Homo-oligomer: A and B are copies of this chain.
Amino acid sequence: MTRADDILRPMRRTIDTIIDEDALRDRLDSGAQLRIKYGVDLTAPDLHLGHAVNLWLMRHLQEHGHRVVFLLGDLTTRVGDPTGKSETRPVLTDAQIDENARAFLTQVSLVLDTSPEVFEVRRNSEWFDRMPVAELLTLFSMTTHAQLMARDMFRDRLAQGREIALHELTYPVLQGYDSFAMDSDLTIVGSDQLFNEMMGRQYQQRLGSRPQSLITTVITPGLDGGPKQSKSLGNYIALTDMAGDKFGKAMSLPDDLTGVWASAYTTLDDARVAELTTASARGGRDARDAKLAMAEALVARYHGADAAAREREAFLRVFSEGATPETTDAVQLTSPVLTTLALLELARPDLSGSARRRLLAQGAVRVDGTLLTDPDLALTVRDGSILRTGRRTWTRLDLPA
């Protein structure tokens, strides 16, 4: 077995495609340190388990001595409306960029090793800020309109009669050039980034470098069984979620996805994943136990085995084993849709308004394990959901039949 085999084998489970695998294997076999491009857009620093699949692959490569180059795409955060009239495109100030970068780094460091031997932070403004316009246009000249229009996102927008601004059309080129400028050997991305990273290969080749290899990863359904986790759908587990939230959310997954989640989001070995899949199919207590095992392994990866075991115990005590919390009331709601504050008023009439707001501010309010902090958030409550307020108060929420 070659060194490349050895490194790639445990990665296969979450890899969808490898582009230019031969080159990747050569590089891994050579023993040289690979430079792995991890490019991010600074406007949305909110990572969930779906993103972490890629990060764990990078972490694995770091453990074999390879280097992740965390590339902040700060150039495009400074593209905006010079008249200052548009609310829709706020230009980020340098301070905001730094703040977002720090927030990103905090999240990334929950998975990646950030020691300087295997981690490096770069910004693409390093090369674009000193690039003359004529050179940028020269880069543009290596790509055609037809090639750009082949990109799904652009094609779909045209088909829907939506606008594409000219600067958006140039972004694949900029992202492609990044790969050349930072000397990327490999990048691990979602399939939505495949087009832009293929541009990277094209530009590296045109400019005389070895093209990077590409790995795309499997996409795993969200908590609601929908195609993937997404912030706008609220069907995700954030990397920054506390252990209890991660556990509770994982337990809300449909039974038939337990095996898929175990494969994508835990380090349980393939045999154990197969067992969990089979147990889930049997339903009932077996399915519940399989999901508990998945949730525990998921939490253990981020918070350690002890914390995971504790969360399992707490979960079982409250929801499964019929243990009696200090208080368990039920409240009858007239509608499933209401704000957090309205819910608290119904469920905790014993508290003052300011006491309720304090609970929210302290992070002491959860519905089915999901933390609620915004008093004005519009909730959609399911019949039988459990509201927890403070450490020891649980309220069951009943909806009209």
Show the binding face of A for B, using Cβ within 8 Å.
75-76, 78-83, 89, 125, 128-129, 131-138, 140-146, 148, 154, 158, 163-170, 173, 206-208
Beta-carbon contact of B83 and A206 below 8 Å? yes
Complex Cα distance, B125 from A83, in Å, reads 23
Beta-carbon contact of B134 and A82 below 8 Å? no
Which B residues touch A89, using CB under 8 A?
Answer: 141
Known contacts A207-B82, A207-B83, A137 near B169 by CB under 8 Å: no
Q: Pick from A75, A154, A167 the residue with the most CB of B within 10 Å.
A: A167
Beta-carbon contact of A163 and B134 below 8 Å? no
Complex Cα distance, B81 from A125, in Å, reads 23
Q: Pick from A75, A129, A132, A143 the residue with the most CB of B within 10 Å.
A: A132
B80, B82, B166, B207: which contacts A144 (Cβ < 8 A)?
Answer: B166
Known contacts A79-B138, A83-B206, A137-B76, A145 near B166 by CB under 8 Å: yes
Known contacts A169-B166, A173-B166, A133 near B128 by CB under 8 Å: yes
| Given pairs A76-B137, A146-B164, 14 additional interface contacts (CB within 8 A) | A75-B133, A79-B134, A83-B206, A83-B208, A89-B141, A125-B134, A137-B170, A141-B166, A141-B167, A142-B165, A143-B165, A145-B165, A148-B166, A166-B170
20 CB-based A-B contacts, threshold 8 Å: A78-B134, A79-B137, A79-B138, A80-B141, A81-B138, A81-B141, A89-B141, A128-B133, A128-B134, A129-B134, A133-B133, A136-B136, A140-B166, A140-B169, A141-B165, A144-B166, A145-B163, A146-B164, A169-B169, A170-B170
Complex Cα distance, B344 from A188, in Å, reads 69
* This chain: copies in complex: 2
Which B residues touch A148, using CB under 8 A?
Answer: 166
Beta-carbon contact of A82 and B138 below 8 Å? yes
Complex Cα distance, B129 from A131, in Å, reads 9
CB distance from A243 to the nearest CB of B (A): 41
Beta-carbon contact of A165 and B144 below 8 Å? yes
Which B residues touch A208, using CB under 8 A?
Answer: 83
Beta-carbon contact of A164 and B141 below 8 Å? no
4 smallest A-B Cβ distances: which pairs?
Answer: A140-B167, A140-B166, A78-B134, A145-B164
CB distance from A156 to the nearest CB of B (A): 13
Complex Cα distance, B154 from A207, in Å, reads 27
Q: Pick from A79, A81, A145 the residue with the most CB of B within 10 Å.
A: A145
The chain B residue sitting closest to A164, CB to CB, is: B145
Which B residues touch A133, using CB under 8 A?
Answer: 75, 128-129, 131, 133, 136
Which B residues touch A167, using CB under 8 A?
Answer: 137-138, 140-141
The chain B residue sitting closest to A149, CB to CB, is: B145
Beta-carbon contact of A141 and B83 below 8 Å? no
B129, B141, B142: which contacts A132 (Cβ < 8 A)?
Answer: B129
Complex Cα distance, B135 from A129, in Å, reads 10
Which B residues touch A83, using CB under 8 A?
Answer: 206-208
Complex Cα distance, B163 from A143, in Å, reads 10
Beta-carbon contact of A143 and B166 below 8 Å? yes
Beta-carbon contact of A140 and B165 below 8 Å? yes
Which B residues touch A207, using CB under 8 A?
Answer: 82-83
Complex Cα distance, B78 from A266, in Å, reads 54
Complex Cα distance, B85 from A208, in Å, reads 12
CB distance from A124 to the nearest CB of B (A): 10
The chain B residue sitting closest to A167, CB to CB, is: B140
B132, B138, B145: which contacts A80 (Cβ < 8 A)?
Answer: B138
Which B residues touch A154, using CB under 8 A?
Answer: 145
Complex Cα distance, B132 from A168, in Å, reads 17
